[in-house]
Amino acid sequence: MEQTQAIWIRDPASILAEGAERGIVVHQGKIVELVPAGGRPATAHVAVFDASEHVVLPGLINTHHHFYQTLTRALPGAMDRELFPWLQALYPVWARLTPEALELGVSVAMSELLLSGCTTTTDHHYVFPAGLEDAVDIEVAVAKRLGMRALLTRGSMNLSQRDGGLPPDSVVQDEDTILSDSERVVAKHHQRGEDAMVQIALAPCSPFSVTTSLMRKTAELAEKLDVRLHTHLAETEDENRFCEQTYGCRPLDYLEQCGWLNSRAWLAHGIFFNAEEMKRLGKAKTTISHCACSNQLLASGCCPVCEMEEAGVAIGLGVDGSASNDASNLMQEVRAAFLLQRARYGVLKVGHKDALRWATQGSAACVGRPELGEIAVGKAADFALFKLDELRFSGHGDPLAALVLCGAHRADRVMVAGKWVVTDGAIPGLDVADLIRRHSAAARAMHAG
Protein backbone atom coordinates (compact mmCIF):
# COMPACT_ATOMS: atom_id res chain seq x y z
CA MET A 1 0.00 0.00 0.00
CA GLU A 2 1.39 3.39 -0.97
CA GLN A 3 2.29 5.73 1.85
CA THR A 4 -0.23 8.59 1.69
CA GLN A 5 0.50 10.40 4.96
CA ALA A 6 3.82 11.97 5.83
CA ILE A 7 5.66 10.45 8.82
CA TRP A 8 7.72 12.44 11.28
CA ILE A 9 10.42 10.22 12.79
CA ARG A 10 10.61 12.44 15.84
CA ASP A 11 13.34 13.28 18.35
CA PRO A 12 15.84 10.47 17.79
CA ALA A 13 18.32 9.69 20.55
CA SER A 14 20.95 10.32 17.87
CA ILE A 15 21.01 10.56 14.08
CA LEU A 16 23.73 10.36 11.43
CA ALA A 17 22.83 13.70 9.85
CA GLU A 18 23.44 17.40 10.36
CA GLY A 19 20.50 19.65 11.27
CA ALA A 20 18.08 16.83 12.03
CA GLU A 21 18.16 16.84 15.82
CA ARG A 22 14.36 16.70 15.99
CA GLY A 23 14.16 14.09 13.28
CA ILE A 24 13.09 13.66 9.68
CA VAL A 25 9.86 13.81 7.74
CA VAL A 26 9.25 11.28 4.99
CA HIS A 27 6.53 11.21 2.37
CA GLN A 28 5.96 8.94 -0.63
CA GLY A 29 9.26 7.18 -0.16
CA LYS A 30 11.45 10.28 0.09
CA ILE A 31 12.90 12.53 2.79
CA VAL A 32 11.02 15.82 2.56
CA GLU A 33 12.30 17.60 5.69
CA LEU A 34 15.07 17.58 8.26
CA VAL A 35 13.76 19.03 11.52
CA PRO A 36 16.47 21.00 13.38
CA ALA A 37 16.86 21.50 17.11
CA GLY A 38 13.95 23.56 18.47
CA GLY A 39 11.98 23.17 15.23
CA ARG A 40 8.78 21.53 14.09
CA PRO A 41 7.85 20.12 10.68
CA ALA A 42 6.54 22.55 8.07
CA THR A 43 4.65 19.63 6.53
CA ALA A 44 1.04 19.52 7.65
CA HIS A 45 -0.84 16.47 8.96
CA VAL A 46 2.11 14.27 9.81
CA ALA A 47 1.87 10.95 11.59
CA VAL A 48 4.43 10.67 14.37
CA PHE A 49 6.85 7.87 15.15
CA ASP A 50 8.55 8.47 18.49
CA ALA A 51 12.25 7.73 17.91
CA SER A 52 13.47 8.92 21.30
CA GLU A 53 14.86 5.46 22.09
CA HIS A 54 16.47 4.99 18.67
CA VAL A 55 19.72 5.83 16.94
CA VAL A 56 18.86 6.55 13.29
CA LEU A 57 21.20 5.67 10.43
CA PRO A 58 20.74 5.82 6.68
CA GLY A 59 19.87 2.32 5.52
CA LEU A 60 23.06 0.27 5.26
CA ILE A 61 24.02 -0.97 1.78
CA ASN A 62 25.67 -4.35 1.20
CA THR A 63 27.86 -4.33 -1.90
CA HIS A 64 29.02 -7.96 -2.15
CA HIS A 65 27.41 -11.26 -1.21
CA HIS A 66 26.70 -14.81 -2.35
CA PHE A 67 23.29 -15.62 -0.90
CA TYR A 68 23.38 -19.33 -1.74
CA GLN A 69 26.39 -19.79 0.54
CA THR A 70 24.22 -19.60 3.66
CA LEU A 71 23.71 -23.30 2.90
CA THR A 72 27.41 -24.10 3.45
CA ARG A 73 28.34 -22.19 6.60
CA ALA A 74 31.19 -23.58 8.71
CA LEU A 75 31.44 -26.65 6.46
CA PRO A 76 34.22 -28.87 7.91
CA GLY A 77 35.70 -29.84 4.54
CA ALA A 78 36.28 -26.19 3.61
CA MET A 79 37.55 -24.86 6.92
CA ASP A 80 41.11 -23.63 7.46
CA ARG A 81 41.85 -23.26 3.74
CA GLU A 82 42.97 -20.34 1.62
CA LEU A 83 40.82 -19.12 -1.28
CA PHE A 84 41.72 -21.52 -4.11
CA PRO A 85 41.59 -24.78 -2.07
CA TRP A 86 38.54 -23.40 -0.23
CA LEU A 87 36.75 -22.99 -3.56
CA GLN A 88 37.84 -26.42 -4.75
CA ALA A 89 36.35 -27.96 -1.60
CA LEU A 90 33.02 -26.14 -2.00
CA TYR A 91 32.34 -26.24 -5.74
CA PRO A 92 31.18 -29.91 -5.67
CA VAL A 93 28.75 -29.09 -2.85
CA TRP A 94 27.42 -26.00 -4.63
CA ALA A 95 26.90 -28.13 -7.73
CA ARG A 96 24.05 -29.84 -5.82
CA LEU A 97 22.14 -26.57 -5.42
CA THR A 98 18.43 -26.84 -6.32
CA PRO A 99 15.81 -24.13 -6.91
CA GLU A 100 14.17 -24.96 -3.58
CA ALA A 101 17.47 -24.79 -1.69
CA LEU A 102 18.41 -21.52 -3.38
CA GLU A 103 15.08 -19.92 -2.43
CA LEU A 104 15.70 -20.87 1.20
CA GLY A 105 19.31 -19.67 1.10
CA VAL A 106 18.28 -16.33 -0.37
CA SER A 107 15.48 -15.93 2.20
CA VAL A 108 17.90 -16.54 5.07
CA ALA A 109 20.56 -14.18 3.69
CA MET A 110 18.18 -11.32 2.93
CA SER A 111 16.31 -11.69 6.23
CA GLU A 112 19.55 -11.62 8.19
CA LEU A 113 20.67 -8.54 6.26
CA LEU A 114 17.38 -6.72 6.85
CA LEU A 115 17.48 -7.46 10.57
CA SER A 116 21.00 -6.01 10.72
CA GLY A 117 19.83 -2.65 9.31
CA CYS A 118 20.59 -3.30 5.65
CA THR A 119 18.05 -1.77 3.25
CA THR A 120 19.79 -2.38 -0.08
CA THR A 121 21.81 -5.45 -0.98
CA THR A 122 23.67 -6.83 -3.94
CA ASP A 123 24.14 -10.51 -4.67
CA HIS A 124 26.68 -12.23 -6.91
CA HIS A 125 25.16 -15.49 -8.09
CA TYR A 126 27.44 -17.35 -10.49
CA VAL A 127 26.66 -21.06 -9.92
CA PHE A 128 24.22 -22.48 -12.47
CA PRO A 129 24.03 -26.28 -12.28
CA ALA A 130 21.42 -27.98 -14.44
CA GLY A 131 17.91 -27.09 -13.28
CA LEU A 132 18.93 -23.74 -11.75
CA GLU A 133 18.68 -21.63 -14.90
CA ASP A 134 16.14 -19.29 -13.25
CA ALA A 135 18.32 -18.46 -10.22
CA VAL A 136 18.04 -14.69 -10.66
CA ASP A 137 14.25 -14.90 -10.99
CA ILE A 138 14.12 -16.80 -7.68
CA GLU A 139 16.14 -14.05 -6.00
CA VAL A 140 13.91 -11.30 -7.39
CA ALA A 141 10.83 -12.99 -5.94
CA VAL A 142 12.37 -13.12 -2.46
CA ALA A 143 13.47 -9.47 -2.60
CA LYS A 144 9.95 -8.40 -3.55
CA ARG A 145 8.43 -10.49 -0.78
CA LEU A 146 10.67 -8.96 1.87
CA GLY A 147 10.42 -5.40 0.54
CA MET A 148 14.17 -4.91 0.28
CA ARG A 149 16.04 -3.04 -2.44
CA ALA A 150 18.31 -5.38 -4.40
CA LEU A 151 20.92 -5.10 -7.11
CA LEU A 152 21.12 -8.72 -8.22
CA THR A 153 23.98 -9.67 -10.49
CA ARG A 154 23.69 -12.22 -13.24
CA GLY A 155 26.99 -13.92 -12.49
CA SER A 156 28.76 -16.39 -14.72
CA MET A 157 31.53 -18.95 -15.05
CA ASN A 158 32.56 -20.59 -18.33
CA LEU A 159 36.17 -21.58 -17.64
CA SER A 160 36.01 -25.00 -15.97
CA GLN A 161 38.67 -27.47 -14.88
CA ARG A 162 38.94 -28.99 -18.35
CA ASP A 163 39.81 -25.52 -19.69
CA GLY A 164 42.34 -24.67 -16.98
CA GLY A 165 39.95 -22.96 -14.56
CA LEU A 166 38.96 -23.88 -10.99
CA PRO A 167 35.22 -24.76 -11.12
CA PRO A 168 33.97 -28.23 -12.11
CA ASP A 169 32.24 -28.66 -15.47
CA SER A 170 28.83 -29.14 -13.82
CA VAL A 171 28.46 -25.55 -12.57
CA VAL A 172 29.59 -23.57 -15.64
CA GLN A 173 27.64 -22.47 -18.72
CA ASP A 174 28.69 -21.63 -22.27
CA GLU A 175 29.14 -18.05 -23.40
CA ASP A 176 26.03 -17.86 -25.59
CA THR A 177 23.78 -19.16 -22.79
CA ILE A 178 25.26 -16.65 -20.34
CA LEU A 179 24.92 -13.62 -22.61
CA SER A 180 21.42 -14.57 -23.73
CA ASP A 181 20.17 -15.03 -20.18
CA SER A 182 21.88 -11.80 -19.13
CA GLU A 183 19.78 -9.93 -21.67
CA ARG A 184 16.66 -11.80 -20.53
CA VAL A 185 16.97 -10.97 -16.83
CA VAL A 186 17.78 -7.31 -17.51
CA ALA A 187 14.76 -6.98 -19.79
CA LYS A 188 12.49 -8.75 -17.32
CA HIS A 189 13.60 -7.35 -13.96
CA HIS A 190 15.81 -4.24 -14.19
CA GLN A 191 14.11 -1.09 -12.93
CA ARG A 192 15.48 2.39 -13.57
CA GLY A 193 15.26 5.66 -11.69
CA GLU A 194 15.49 6.74 -8.07
CA ASP A 195 12.51 4.63 -6.96
CA ALA A 196 13.95 1.37 -8.31
CA MET A 197 13.59 -1.59 -5.96
CA VAL A 198 15.11 -4.32 -8.16
CA GLN A 199 18.04 -3.81 -10.48
CA ILE A 200 20.30 -6.18 -12.40
CA ALA A 201 24.04 -6.04 -13.04
CA LEU A 202 26.31 -8.39 -15.00
CA ALA A 203 29.03 -10.20 -13.09
CA PRO A 204 31.51 -12.72 -14.50
CA CYS A 205 32.91 -14.40 -11.42
CA SER A 206 36.67 -13.83 -11.63
CA PRO A 207 39.66 -13.90 -14.00
CA PHE A 208 40.27 -17.56 -13.13
CA SER A 209 36.73 -18.78 -13.87
CA VAL A 210 35.72 -16.96 -17.09
CA THR A 211 37.27 -16.55 -20.53
CA THR A 212 38.63 -13.29 -21.90
CA SER A 213 35.96 -13.39 -24.58
CA LEU A 214 33.19 -13.51 -21.97
CA MET A 215 34.76 -10.67 -19.97
CA ARG A 216 34.89 -8.46 -23.06
CA LYS A 217 31.44 -9.34 -24.37
CA THR A 218 29.89 -8.83 -20.93
CA ALA A 219 31.38 -5.33 -20.76
CA GLU A 220 29.98 -4.58 -24.23
CA LEU A 221 26.55 -5.90 -23.21
CA ALA A 222 26.53 -3.85 -20.02
CA GLU A 223 27.27 -0.74 -22.08
CA LYS A 224 24.49 -1.59 -24.50
CA LEU A 225 21.94 -2.31 -21.74
CA ASP A 226 23.21 0.49 -19.46
CA VAL A 227 23.68 -1.69 -16.38
CA ARG A 228 26.53 -2.05 -13.91
CA LEU A 229 29.42 -4.53 -13.91
CA HIS A 230 30.81 -6.52 -11.01
CA THR A 231 33.54 -9.11 -10.42
CA HIS A 232 36.10 -10.29 -7.87
CA LEU A 233 39.53 -8.74 -8.34
CA ALA A 234 42.88 -8.53 -6.57
CA GLU A 235 41.67 -10.75 -3.73
CA THR A 236 44.77 -12.94 -3.34
CA GLU A 237 48.37 -13.24 -4.46
CA ASP A 238 47.35 -16.52 -6.14
CA GLU A 239 45.08 -14.50 -8.41
CA ASN A 240 47.96 -12.16 -9.27
CA ARG A 241 50.14 -15.14 -10.21
CA PHE A 242 47.33 -16.72 -12.23
CA CYS A 243 46.85 -13.55 -14.29
CA GLU A 244 50.57 -13.05 -14.83
CA GLN A 245 51.04 -16.67 -15.93
CA THR A 246 47.87 -16.90 -18.02
CA TYR A 247 47.48 -13.40 -19.45
CA GLY A 248 50.97 -11.97 -19.03
CA CYS A 249 49.81 -9.05 -16.88
CA ARG A 250 48.45 -8.09 -13.48
CA PRO A 251 44.69 -8.34 -12.75
CA LEU A 252 43.94 -4.62 -13.20
CA ASP A 253 45.78 -4.51 -16.53
CA TYR A 254 43.74 -7.51 -17.63
CA LEU A 255 40.55 -5.82 -16.49
CA GLU A 256 41.40 -2.72 -18.50
CA GLN A 257 42.18 -4.79 -21.60
CA CYS A 258 38.71 -6.32 -21.28
CA GLY A 259 36.99 -2.89 -21.20
CA TRP A 260 36.14 -2.91 -17.51
CA LEU A 261 38.11 -0.01 -16.07
CA ASN A 262 35.28 2.54 -15.88
CA SER A 263 32.61 4.02 -13.62
CA ARG A 264 30.18 1.22 -14.46
CA ALA A 265 32.26 -1.38 -12.58
CA TRP A 266 32.63 -2.10 -8.88
CA LEU A 267 35.08 -4.74 -7.70
CA ALA A 268 35.00 -7.06 -4.71
CA HIS A 269 38.00 -7.12 -2.35
CA GLY A 270 40.72 -4.99 -4.02
CA ILE A 271 43.46 -6.10 -1.64
CA PHE A 272 46.51 -6.32 -3.88
CA PHE A 273 46.59 -3.09 -5.88
CA ASN A 274 49.77 -1.04 -5.97
CA ALA A 275 49.87 2.77 -5.71
CA GLU A 276 49.83 3.33 -9.46
CA GLU A 277 46.86 1.00 -9.87
CA MET A 278 44.93 2.81 -7.16
CA LYS A 279 45.38 6.08 -9.03
CA ARG A 280 44.05 4.45 -12.20
CA LEU A 281 41.03 3.15 -10.30
CA GLY A 282 40.35 6.61 -8.88
CA LYS A 283 40.66 8.27 -12.28
CA ALA A 284 38.29 5.72 -13.82
CA LYS A 285 35.78 6.08 -10.93
CA THR A 286 35.79 2.31 -10.46
CA THR A 287 34.73 1.48 -6.90
CA ILE A 288 35.70 -1.20 -4.38
CA SER A 289 33.69 -3.41 -2.04
CA HIS A 290 35.72 -4.02 1.13
CA CYS A 291 34.90 -7.41 2.69
CA ALA A 292 36.67 -7.29 6.04
CA CYS A 293 35.32 -10.48 7.65
CA SER A 294 35.84 -12.69 4.61
CA ASN A 295 39.34 -11.37 4.05
CA GLN A 296 40.24 -12.17 7.65
CA LEU A 297 38.63 -15.62 7.67
CA LEU A 298 40.39 -16.71 4.47
CA ALA A 299 43.55 -14.80 5.48
CA SER A 300 43.55 -13.15 2.06
CA GLY A 301 45.02 -9.85 3.23
CA CYS A 302 43.74 -6.37 4.06
CA CYS A 303 42.23 -3.89 1.63
CA PRO A 304 44.28 -0.63 1.72
CA VAL A 305 41.20 1.50 2.30
CA CYS A 306 42.84 4.78 3.27
CA GLU A 307 45.28 4.78 0.33
CA MET A 308 42.39 3.94 -1.98
CA GLU A 309 40.27 6.83 -0.72
CA GLU A 310 43.24 9.19 -0.99
CA ALA A 311 43.52 8.08 -4.63
CA GLY A 312 39.86 8.99 -5.21
CA VAL A 313 38.40 5.47 -5.00
CA ALA A 314 35.02 5.16 -3.28
CA ILE A 315 34.90 2.29 -0.76
CA GLY A 316 31.78 0.33 0.16
CA LEU A 317 31.30 -2.64 2.48
CA GLY A 318 30.22 -6.17 1.66
CA VAL A 319 29.56 -9.14 3.92
CA ASP A 320 30.64 -11.51 1.13
CA GLY A 321 29.44 -15.09 1.09
CA SER A 322 28.14 -16.80 4.18
CA ALA A 323 30.71 -19.56 3.64
CA SER A 324 33.58 -17.12 4.13
CA ASN A 325 32.18 -14.74 6.76
CA ASP A 326 30.12 -16.83 7.96
CA ALA A 327 27.35 -14.30 8.55
CA SER A 328 25.10 -11.95 6.58
CA ASN A 329 25.08 -9.18 9.19
CA LEU A 330 26.10 -5.81 7.76
CA MET A 331 26.18 -3.99 11.10
CA GLN A 332 28.71 -6.52 12.34
CA GLU A 333 30.65 -5.95 9.12
CA VAL A 334 30.83 -2.23 9.92
CA ARG A 335 32.50 -3.04 13.24
CA ALA A 336 34.85 -5.57 11.64
CA ALA A 337 35.91 -3.08 8.98
CA PHE A 338 36.42 -0.39 11.61
CA LEU A 339 38.62 -2.62 13.76
CA LEU A 340 40.63 -4.02 10.86
CA GLN A 341 41.35 -0.63 9.31
CA ARG A 342 41.94 1.01 12.71
CA ALA A 343 44.58 -1.64 13.41
CA ARG A 344 46.17 -0.97 10.04
CA TYR A 345 46.12 2.84 10.02
CA GLY A 346 45.85 3.95 13.65
CA VAL A 347 43.43 6.00 15.71
CA LEU A 348 44.03 9.28 13.86
CA LYS A 349 43.15 7.88 10.43
CA VAL A 350 40.06 5.70 11.03
CA GLY A 351 37.05 6.48 13.23
CA HIS A 352 33.63 4.94 13.74
CA LYS A 353 32.03 7.47 11.39
CA ASP A 354 34.40 6.36 8.62
CA ALA A 355 33.13 2.80 8.92
CA LEU A 356 29.51 4.01 8.89
CA ARG A 357 30.29 6.14 5.83
CA TRP A 358 31.72 3.14 3.98
CA ALA A 359 28.48 1.19 4.62
CA THR A 360 26.27 4.09 3.47
CA GLN A 361 27.61 6.75 1.09
CA GLY A 362 30.55 4.64 -0.04
CA SER A 363 28.35 1.65 -0.73
CA ALA A 364 25.83 3.87 -2.54
CA ALA A 365 28.62 4.86 -4.93
CA CYS A 366 29.40 1.18 -5.55
CA VAL A 367 25.82 0.41 -6.57
CA GLY A 368 25.42 3.63 -8.56
CA ARG A 369 22.60 4.97 -6.38
CA PRO A 370 23.46 8.50 -5.14
CA GLU A 371 19.93 8.89 -3.77
CA LEU A 372 20.71 6.22 -1.17
CA GLY A 373 23.07 6.13 1.80
CA GLU A 374 22.49 9.62 3.21
CA ILE A 375 19.91 11.41 5.35
CA ALA A 376 19.20 14.57 3.37
CA VAL A 377 16.18 16.19 1.72
CA GLY A 378 15.31 14.48 -1.54
CA LYS A 379 17.08 11.24 -0.69
CA ALA A 380 15.28 7.90 -0.36
CA ALA A 381 13.48 7.19 2.91
CA ASP A 382 15.63 4.18 3.79
CA PHE A 383 16.63 4.01 7.48
CA ALA A 384 17.94 1.64 10.13
CA LEU A 385 16.87 2.38 13.71
CA PHE A 386 18.74 0.78 16.60
CA LYS A 387 17.89 0.72 20.30
CA LEU A 388 20.62 0.85 22.94
CA ASP A 389 18.78 -1.19 25.58
CA GLU A 390 20.93 -4.34 25.56
CA LEU A 391 23.66 -5.20 28.10
CA ARG A 392 26.31 -4.54 25.46
CA PHE A 393 25.39 -0.83 25.45
CA SER A 394 24.99 -0.25 29.17
CA GLY A 395 27.08 2.72 30.27
CA HIS A 396 27.63 4.13 26.78
CA GLY A 397 28.32 7.80 26.12
CA ASP A 398 28.12 8.67 22.40
CA PRO A 399 25.16 6.75 20.90
CA LEU A 400 26.53 6.64 17.31
CA ALA A 401 29.92 5.45 18.49
CA ALA A 402 28.24 2.86 20.71
CA LEU A 403 26.66 1.18 17.68
CA VAL A 404 30.11 0.44 16.29
CA LEU A 405 32.25 0.13 19.41
CA CYS A 406 29.78 -1.89 21.50
CA GLY A 407 28.82 -4.15 18.63
CA ALA A 408 25.23 -3.47 17.55
CA HIS A 409 23.98 -6.37 15.47
CA ARG A 410 20.18 -6.15 15.26
CA ALA A 411 18.03 -3.22 14.20
CA ASP A 412 14.77 -2.56 16.04
CA ARG A 413 13.14 -0.91 13.01
CA VAL A 414 14.00 -0.73 9.32
CA MET A 415 12.31 1.45 6.71
CA VAL A 416 12.67 0.98 2.95
CA ALA A 417 11.13 3.50 0.55
CA GLY A 418 9.02 4.93 3.36
CA LYS A 419 7.61 1.57 4.49
CA TRP A 420 8.47 -0.32 7.68
CA VAL A 421 9.87 -3.73 6.76
CA VAL A 422 11.25 -4.53 10.22
CA THR A 423 9.29 -3.67 13.38
CA ASP A 424 10.23 -4.49 16.96
CA GLY A 425 13.27 -6.42 15.74
CA ALA A 426 11.25 -8.76 13.52
CA ILE A 427 10.17 -9.06 9.88
CA PRO A 428 6.35 -8.99 9.86
CA GLY A 429 4.89 -12.27 8.66
CA LEU A 430 8.18 -14.18 8.65
CA ASP A 431 8.15 -17.45 10.63
CA VAL A 432 11.84 -17.53 11.52
CA ALA A 433 11.72 -20.91 13.25
CA ASP A 434 10.11 -22.52 10.21
CA LEU A 435 12.61 -20.89 7.86
CA ILE A 436 15.53 -22.16 9.96
CA ARG A 437 14.06 -25.67 10.01
CA ARG A 438 13.57 -25.85 6.24
CA HIS A 439 16.85 -24.10 5.42
CA SER A 440 18.82 -26.37 7.74
CA ALA A 441 17.26 -29.47 6.17
CA ALA A 442 18.19 -28.23 2.68
CA ALA A 443 21.75 -27.54 3.85
CA ARG A 444 22.12 -31.04 5.33
CA ALA A 445 20.89 -32.56 2.07
CA MET A 446 23.48 -30.61 0.09
CA HIS A 447 26.29 -31.54 2.49
CA ALA A 448 25.37 -35.21 2.32
CA GLY A 449 25.40 -35.29 -1.48
* Residue-wise pLDDT tens digits, 388-438: 999 999 999 999 999 999 999 999 999 999 999 999 999 999 999 999 999
Q: Is the pTM of this model over 0.95?
A: yes
**Using CA of residue 322, residue 328, residue 329, residue 334, what is the dihedral sign?**
positive
Domain locations in the chain?
Answer: 60-366
Q: How confident is the model at residue 166 (pLDDT cuts 50, 70, 90)?
A: confident
What pLDDT score was predicted for residue 91? Answer: 93
What pLDDT score was predicted for residue 1? Answer: 39
What one-character-per-residue DSSP string does 151-211 give? Answer: EEEEEE----GGGT-SS-GGG---HHHHHHHHHHHHHHH---STT-SEEEEEEE--TTTS-
Residue 18 gets the label, from left (phi > 0), alpha (psi -120 to 50) or beta, of beta
* Average of per-residue pLDDT across 198-222: 96
Closest CA to 206 of 249, 164, 251: 251
What pLDDT score was predicted for residue 258? Answer: 97
Q: How confident is the model at residue 3 (pLDDT cuts 50, 70, 90)?
A: low
Q: Which of 159-173, 181-195, 347-361 has the lowest mean pLDDT?
A: 159-173
* Residue-wise pLDDT tens digits, 101-149: 999 999 999 999 999 999 999 999 999 999 999 999 999 999 999 999 9
Backbone φ and ψ for 173, nearest 5 degrees, come out as -130, 165
Q: Alpha helix (H) ranges present in 250-406?
A: 251-257, 275-284, 292-297, 305-310, 330-345, 352-357, 363-366, 399-405
State the CB neighbour count (10 A cutoff) for residue 65: 31
* Residue-wise pLDDT tens digits, 34-53: 999 999 999 999 999 999 99
163 or 393, which is more confident: 393
Span 60-366 CATH architecture: Alpha-Beta Barrel (3.20)
* Residue-wise pLDDT tens digits, 87-101: 999 999 999 999 999
> Per-residue pLDDT for 161 more than 90?
no
Backbone φ and ψ for 16, nearest 5 degrees, come out as -85, 70
